[in-house]
A and B are shown apart, each in its own frame.
Chain A
């Protein structure tokens, strides 16, 4: 790691929790006025060192350390050159998904992923609408640091409109290819992203080699969530110490959360990582008696009971509930709504969103949805909870993506957090809907 380039900027980083939207407007002039110019000729070693020191983890759900992904892509690219003769397509295992679009000779690919898929998530669209230039900066900086030969931004149609407008405002972003993401649940899964960018369907592929080694057309490929790239753009300017001045040691920085469900004003908030789960819910107008439970992490997430919302929105605070901050999705379930009903609806949706490539998922999720629906409808069959648990265990880990695992997590969390409701339903009653 070289540390030859101290950060020199005449503009200080935003001091509040509102970092990503600190420019106050989406245009390039506002962006430059508040954040200053994008660091030019960035020393790649320096950027990686700052990234590592910052502790920035991916904001797309998996929370993988960002610097490690960049290093993996850079190393795979240099390693591939050294080995010689391992150009795109010659790598084994058939993991190369899709065709290369242009005359890119196996150089790394960087893809900004703005496909949320998840119906409860609005943060990436909100970010691309409100701060597209930060995402573009982050994408260009990441591309420079791994010497990418192909730079892509992948997002749904509406988000691409914001990006198109932003690109037209500047002269350094012409190399970015825009690829439209379909509005399906799995469209943002990393291997589905690579498949779609390569001209195929946006469905996951089986992987035994990481995309950082062999992704689009066999080239080392970095798929990074757009929020992660926006944080990267700020980090490159203001440094790791600034980044860590918010959040916790375990989970530094700020994150975007999408608050939805039974709240007066559902919207996207930027919060300091590690704050109480309750805080953004209160911002959205919810009050504890009005919070029956919170679905944390979206449809692949887990429930936190309304009595536990003082816990922190952090990996350690959420771990006891089998949840994680993930992509920052928080859905409030009002006390007037039955958690079993809500979960049954979600699992039905998830079963329908299976790509139906993998047998256990294609067969198991509809079956899981069916037994959960019977429980939600107060079918008095004693065996239902055990069968739900069994099916969840049968499908978990048995797919080429995490769709069955995430669905199993939600289902098992439902049985735990709504255990009293399960007993009531088996006796033909409902604690909530009478």
Chain B
């Protein structure tokens, strides 16, 4: 997913599962992209790298900053 750079402003949100504790803050800030699985962990359409459309980069940055486990990273979508 992260390689799918349709817009130059798209970004990719990486979840470090070794840090994530399922606190759920990111799912509240990014309900368009993330739900929770039955154990509370963030659930995206697929995998560990979530494509973030331009209009959601703001809330995504917030999620990165507020994650109590520092388990999120926002990267340029091209992956380079």
Contacts and interface: CB of A to CB of B under 8 A. Distances in A.
B76 to A, nearest CB: 12
Contacts of A364: 39
A338 B61 CA distance: 51
A360 B75 CA distance: 23
A219 to B, nearest CB: 21
A229 B53 CA distance: 43
B39 A399 contact: no
Contacts of B20: 358-359
A65 interface: no
Interface in A384-416: 394, 397-400
A206 B17 contact: yes
A72 B35 CA distance: 37
Interface string B30-48: 0000000111110100111
Query: What is the predominant secondary structure among interface residues of chain A facing chain B?
Result: loop
24 contacts: A93-B73, A206-B16, A206-B18, A206-B19, A208-B73, A357-B18, A358-B17, A358-B20, A359-B20, A359-B41, A360-B17, A360-B39, A361-B17, A363-B38, A363-B39, A364-B39, A394-B38, A397-B47, A398-B17, A398-B41, A398-B43, A400-B17, A400-B18, A400-B48
A68 to B, nearest CB: 16
Interface of B: 14-22, 37-41, 43, 46-48, 73, 75
B22 A359 contact: yes
Interface string A359-372: 11101100000000
Interface of A: 93, 205-206, 208, 357-361, 363-364, 394, 397-400
A394 B43 contact: yes
A400 B16 contact: yes
Nearest to B46: A397
Given A206-B19, A398-B17, A359 B73 contact: no
B14 A208 contact: yes
B18 A394 contact: no
A397 B48 CA distance: 6
Contacts of B48: 397-400
Nearest to B22: A359
A404 to B, nearest CB: 9
A363 B47 CA distance: 16
A196 B37 CA distance: 32
A351 B14 CA distance: 24
A273 to B, nearest CB: 29
A361 B18 CA distance: 10
Contacts of B19: 206
B39 A359 contact: yes
Contacts of B40: 359
Nearest to A360: B41
Contacts of B16: 206, 400
Contacts of A399: 17, 48
